[in-house]
Amino acid sequence: MAAPLVIKTREVKHVVVFDIEGEMRRHDTPQVTLSSLVQGELDRGRRNIVFNLAGVGFIDSFGVGEILASFKSIQDLGGKLKLCRISDRLLLIFKITMLDKVLDILEDCDRALDSFDSA
């Protein structure tokens, strides 16, 4: 059975962190999507966002689409999106689709958070 998607939000310094767990797939998607949660943060004026994907074991094209929609919304408003703690399996998907060239992917979430200060 697929692990349900759980998204928790926290703020560290001036950065919103989404801790994402479970499987990012269409039929497991809750009523509230990742991109809608991101839009809510953007509406509050928050522009620096990190997706902690440590707990994500599977992602399908819908999940990739949610990340890309979030990336585009954030970028359009001059913000930055960083991804951290991606499993080798997910990283392979991003490499195959060449999204690793578009998305800012870091191994460590602390490094992702610090990168906003140096930007």
Residue 7: C-alpha distances to residues 30, 36, 102, 112, 118 (Å): 10, 12, 23, 18, 27
Question: According to CATH, what is the number of the domain 6-118?
Answer: 3.30.750.24
> Does pLDDT of 27 surpass 80?
no
The token pair that represents 99 in the structure block:
């999204």
Listed by start position, the domains of the chain span 6-118
pLDDT tens-place string over residues 75-96: 999 999 999 999 999 999 999 9
> Does pLDDT of 30 surpass 70?
no
pTM of the prediction? 0.93
